[in-house]
Amino acid sequence: MITYLRNVSPSVLDGTALLRLDFNTKDDWRMRAVIPTVKFLLDAGVTIVVVSHRGRPSGGSLVNGVPTGFPSDLHLRKDAAKLSALIGRRVAFIDHFRFPEIKERVAASPHGSVFLLDNLRFMPGEERNDPKFARQLASLADFYVNDAFAVSHRANASVVAVTDLLPSYGGLELQDEIEGLSRAIMAPVHPVVLILGGAKASDKLGVVRRFRSRADTFLLGGGSANSILALRGIDVKESLRETDPKVLAALKPLARNPKVVLPADLVWGRGKDAGKILDLGPRTQKLFAARIAAARTIVWSGPLGFIERAPYANASIAVARAIGRNKKAFSLTGGGETVMFLKKYGLDKGFSFISTGGGAMLDFLAGEKLPGIVALGKQRMRPRTKKRNARSVA
Ligand code: 3PG
């Protein structure tokens, strides 16, 4: 069973928290989602060492513990400034991985200090789930909090191995994710509408399988629709679609499924985009809106068109608006691209729940066991009894 931070008395939380967050987005919406957790910990008077990753760095190395030669946009210095602005308190950025030195600095700081380490994926042990690297991280803190749902599908050292070494808790946002996403799969109220778009259908196969009996309607756009149209013998020309025979074989049952509503009209690109389906037309938008209006549970993953360009964002906007109008349904979505799009058009407020996860959300909805969540549930370390030392409060 996961021990959630929300259910723990602040009097149990003592010393320093190692707080795993996920800052892996172009804007700061994932950071904003976890501010209540940071504040919760600060209210309890603890010191926080925040850790996160960004991107999939390669090519650099460590020189005297300092990450060197990695792309500059993968460092987290700017995130320290952003986090500091959001919590109204100094966040000290640590630009090296010399753990004994970091440990000393954290131990010497006043209660309530906040530190941010640089991108954990600069360290080879992170993605290998290396117990040695986990020990180095654990040496900095008295307990661990995972509020990084979006990376909880990765067996990384700061997500999994570290839970063997410290009393571990699920953060406020992680709890909301588990409860929100479970609502769509445990006993969803019917009619259930699953909307699938995005470039690839292959990453949604697990969700399709899980919802085969749960969903009443599948609305398809983007690469998912193109692949099914192609499987039904329609010429989609140069449009994005799956070509891997294994993926196509897995998609075949969906192509035959009578619950699937395919686009009725398509918007094709022009000029250098000729021959590519880039959005769904007005008849399809109406058709989809009608199904959405009747739904009581709506799950949406992946844009329905090439939303990076405004003329091809119409179907996604129409669907988001239809979801916002249906006040009776429980509606959820997630994934970096979709969420940034919804925020850009001010349409995010119309959803009951927005997941910070992309791959993690899809894995959870597909019923897969997320290593980070399994690890939190298994951990057996008990918190130590509160014993304040003489450090002053920041
Ligand atoms: C995400 O953005 O989905 C998470 O941060 C995980 O990133 P990853 O796919 O590079 O592991």
* 363 in a structural domain: no
- 128 and 225 in one domain? no
Q: Is 30 in the pocket of ligand 1 (CB under 6 A)?
A: no
Bridge pairing between strands 47-51 and 16-20: parallel
* 344 in a structural domain: no
Position in ligand 1 atom list of the atom nearest CA 24: 5
Q: Is 150 in the pocket of ligand 1 (CB under 6 A)?
A: yes
Mean pLDDT calculated for residue range 204-226: 95
pLDDT at residue 33 in the model: 96
pLDDT band at 162 (very low <50, low <70, confident <90, very high): very high
Burial class, 148, CB count within 10 angstroms (exposed 0-12 / middle 13-18 / buried 19+)? buried
Q: What is the mean pLDDT of the chain?
A: 94
Contact status, residue 326 vs residue 351, Cβ threshold 8 Å: no
* 105 in a structural domain: yes
Q: Is 22 in the pocket of ligand 1 (CB under 6 A)?
A: yes
- 196 and 170 in one domain? no
Instruction: Residue 136: give the domain boundaries.
Output: 5-174+371-378
Residues paired with 393 in a beta bridge: 111
- Ligand 1 centroid distance, CA of 151 (Å): 6
- 309 and 166 in one domain? no
- Ligand 1 centroid distance, CA of 24 (Å): 7
pLDDT digits (tens, 9 = 90+) for 279-290: 999 999 999 999
Mean pLDDT calculated for residue range 164-188: 96
pLDDT at residue 52 in the model: 98
Position in ligand 1 atom list of the atom nearest CA 358: 3
Q: Is 26 in the pocket of ligand 1 (CB under 6 A)?
A: no
- Ligand 1 centroid distance, CA of 285 (Å): 31
- 168 and 251 in one domain? no
Mean pLDDT calculated for residue range 113-140: 98
- 160 and 221 in one domain? no
- Model confidence at 226: pLDDT above 70: yes
- 45 and 14 in one domain? yes
pLDDT at residue 384 in the model: 59
pLDDT digits (tens, 9 = 90+) for 11-49: 889 899 999 999 999 889 999 999 999 999 999 999 999
pLDDT digits (tens, 9 = 90+) for 337-392: 899 999 999 999 999 999 999 999 999 999 999 999 999 999 766 665 555 444 44
In the listed set 270, 296, 328, which residue is the last one of a domain according to the structure? 328
- 166 and 22 in one domain? yes
Q: Is 302 in the pocket of ligand 1 (CB under 6 A)?
A: no
- Ligand 1 centroid distance, CA of 216 (Å): 30
Query: Which tokens hold the place of 204?
Result: 């949604």
* 268 in a structural domain: yes
pLDDT at residue 385 in the model: 53
Q: Kindly report whether the peptide bond that precedes residue 110 is cis, defined as omega within 30 degrees of 0.
A: no
In the block, which residue shows the tokens 């390669």? 58
Considering the chain, what percentage of its residues have pLDDT values greater than 70?
96
Contact status, residue 277 vs residue 309, Cβ threshold 8 Å: no
Nearest-CA residue for atom 2 of ligand 1: 24
- Model confidence at 116: pLDDT above 60: yes
The whole-model pTM stands at: 0.94
pLDDT at residue 60 in the model: 95
* 15 in a structural domain: yes
- 194 and 157 in one domain? no
- Model confidence at 393: pLDDT above 80: no
pLDDT digits (tens, 9 = 90+) for 233-269: 999 999 999 999 999 999 999 999 999 999 999 999 9
- 285 and 196 in one domain? yes
**25, 154, 173, 364: which to mutate for ligand 1, most atoms within 8 A of CB?**
154
- 205 and 62 in one domain? no
Q: Is pLDDT larger for residue 386 or for residue 135?
A: 135
* 335 in a structural domain: no
- 149 and 27 in one domain? yes
pLDDT at residue 10 in the model: 80
Q: What is the CATH number of the domain that holds 154?
A: 3.40.50.1260
Count the domains in the chain.
2
**28, 53, 129: which to mutate for ligand 1, most atoms within 8 A of CB?**
53
Position in ligand 1 atom list of the atom nearest CA 150: 4
Q: Is 65 in the pocket of ligand 1 (CB under 6 A)?
A: no
pLDDT at residue 26 in the model: 85
Considering the chain, what percentage of its residues have pLDDT values greater than 90?
92
**20, 23, 24: which to mutate for ligand 1, most atoms within 8 A of CB?**
24
Q: Is 372 in the pocket of ligand 1 (CB under 6 A)?
A: no
* 155 in a structural domain: yes
* 351 in a structural domain: no
pLDDT band at 155 (very low <50, low <70, confident <90, very high): very high
- Ligand 1 centroid distance, CA of 42 (Å): 27
- Ligand 1 centroid distance, CA of 7 (Å): 28
pLDDT digits (tens, 9 = 90+) for 76-97: 999 999 999 999 999 999 999 9
Q: Is 159 in the pocket of ligand 1 (CB under 6 A)?
A: no
- 167 and 28 in one domain? yes
- Ligand 1 centroid distance, CA of 293 (Å): 33
**51, 151, 355: which to mutate for ligand 1, most atoms within 8 A of CB?**
151
